[in-house]
């Protein structure tokens, strides 16, 4: 196993370099000198820790020689061609591609995992509450992003789960805009997509606000449409429903108003040790939503040259229905 989030999930190891061998009667984690002290503490009894100062792949070969197997599964969705070649060079076992074996387990969150995501969301919300009142016309997107990221770190976020998006005016129509040096104009939309990380678990939030003026009629209308779509989805999402039906809860609201073509991405994605993981709330997915999954709910409507509005909250699919882990406060904010 080479995918670090899966290794962390199974063993608790949070370092940046490791191989994990899982067999019926033994689990072995192999890392290098940098983690000689860290790995045994984090892994505990979950695996035998092997540290090799020269080559983790050569050490894997020696471990495999001592406990040979006819076949050896690899994570086909994440292993590189180079690492697959390294593996073939240290084993005589038949290498068998596998997919999503651990990811399917990770989709169902324990109470401790849900609590960590909730804590990350609360941290992110507190950072936003600190930064929003200081945003002014003429500030650049980069300046706003820097203030938000600094607040996240001060409040204890382990890292940023993804590059923070701050997109103003027409650039808010770019769903995954790169934060730029553009100055924010009066009366413009400002889209902020950001996250926090607590105990390795991610939160992912988006808010769209108006800077330096009151919303005009079009901004207010589109904002309320997106807000209504998101609220409907959160109120009616249930574990067990096909993912496409979850997506349709919001998409139908937007499509009925004639803006279906402006909502081009899926409604949401799973959250956990990675900011994008299973399940995916997409119109193409018939996969049932598992109980205790945590997903984002993030409808958005985008018009090139005008701007875009997206609202995103993090939701736990509890047996009784969707439970918002973030605050769900999506009233229109006008920073006058």
Q: What are the residues facing 308 on neighbouring strands?
A: 302
Displacement of CA 55 from its chain's centroid (Å): 32
Q: Which domains does the chain have, with CATH numbers?
A: 4-106 (3.40.350.10), 111-335 (3.90.230.10)
Q: 71-91: buried (b, 16+ CB within 10 Å) or exposed (e) per residue? A: ebbbbeeebeeeeeebbeebb
Residues 22, 10 contacting (CB under 8 angstroms): yes
What pLDDT does residue 120 have?
A: 98
What pLDDT does residue 67 have?
A: 85
φ, ψ of residue 151 in degrees (nearest 5): -65, -40
Residues 168, 184 contacting (CB under 8 angstroms): yes
pTM over the 0.85 mark: yes
Q: What is the 3-state secondary structure (H, E, C) of 200-269?
A: CEEEEEEEEEEECCCCCHHHHHHHHHHHHHHHHHHHHCCCCCEHHHHHHHHHHHHHHCCCHHHCCCCCEE
Per-residue confidence of the chain (336 residues) as pLDDT tens digits?
Answer: 999 999 999 999 999 999 999 998 899 999 999 999 999 999 999 999 999 999 999 999 999 999 888 899 999 999 999 999 999 899 989 999 999 999 999 999 999 999 999 999 999 999 999 999 999 999 999 999 999 999 999 999 999 999 999 999 999 999 999 999 999 999 999 999 999 999 999 999 999 999 999 999 999 999 999 999 999 999 999 999 999 999 999 999 999 999 999 999 999 999 999 999 999 999 999 999 999 999 999 999 999 999 999 999 999 999 999 999 999 999 999 999
Q: Which two tokens stand for residue 244?
A: 């496409």
How far apart CA 190 and CA 187 sit, in angstroms, is 9
3-state SS class at 160: coil
Instruction: Quickly tell me which residue has 């229109």 as its tokens.
Output: 332
């Amino acid at each position: 196993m080479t995918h670090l989030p899966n290794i962390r999930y199974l063993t608790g190891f949070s370092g940046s370099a490791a191989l994990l061998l899982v067999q019926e009667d033994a689990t072995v984690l192999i890392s290098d000198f940098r983690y000689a002290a860290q790995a045994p503490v984090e892994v505990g009894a979950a695996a035998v820790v092997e540290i090799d100062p020269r080559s983790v792949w050569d050490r894997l070969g020696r471990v495999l020689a001592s406990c040979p197997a006819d076949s050896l599964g690899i994570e086909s969705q994440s292993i590189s061609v180079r690492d697959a070649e390294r593996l073939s060079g240290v084993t005589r076992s038949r290498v068998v591609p596998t997919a999503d074996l651990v990811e399917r387990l990770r989709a169902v969150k324990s109470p401790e995992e849900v609590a960590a995501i909730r804590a990350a969301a609360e941290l992110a919300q507190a950072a936003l509450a600190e930064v929003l009142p200081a945003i002014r016309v003429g500030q650049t997107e980069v300046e706003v992003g820097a203030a938000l990221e600094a607040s996240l770190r001060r409040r204890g976020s382990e890292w940023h789960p993804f590059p923070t998006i701050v997109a103003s005016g027409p650039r808010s129509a770019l769903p995954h805009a790169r934060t730029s040096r553009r100055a924010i104009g009066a009366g413009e939309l400002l889209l902020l997509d950001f996250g926090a990380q607590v105990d390795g678990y991610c939160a992912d939030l988006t808010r769209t606000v108006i800077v330096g003026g009151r919303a005009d009629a079009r901004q207010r209308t589109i904002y309320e449409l997106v807000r209504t779509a998101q609220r409907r989805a959160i109120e009616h999402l249930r574990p067990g429903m096909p993912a496409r039906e979850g997506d349709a809860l919001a998409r139908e609201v937007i499509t009925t108003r004639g803006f279906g073509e402006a909502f081009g991405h899926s409604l949401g994605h799973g959250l956990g040790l990675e900011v994008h993981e299973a399940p995916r709330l997409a119109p193409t997915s018939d996969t049932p939503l598992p109980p205790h999954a945590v997903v984002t709910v993030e409808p958005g409507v985008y018009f090139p040259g005008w701007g875009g509005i997206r609202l995103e909250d993090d939701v736990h699919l509890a047996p009784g229905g969707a439970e918002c882990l973030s605050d769900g406060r999506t009233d229109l904010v006008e920073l006058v």
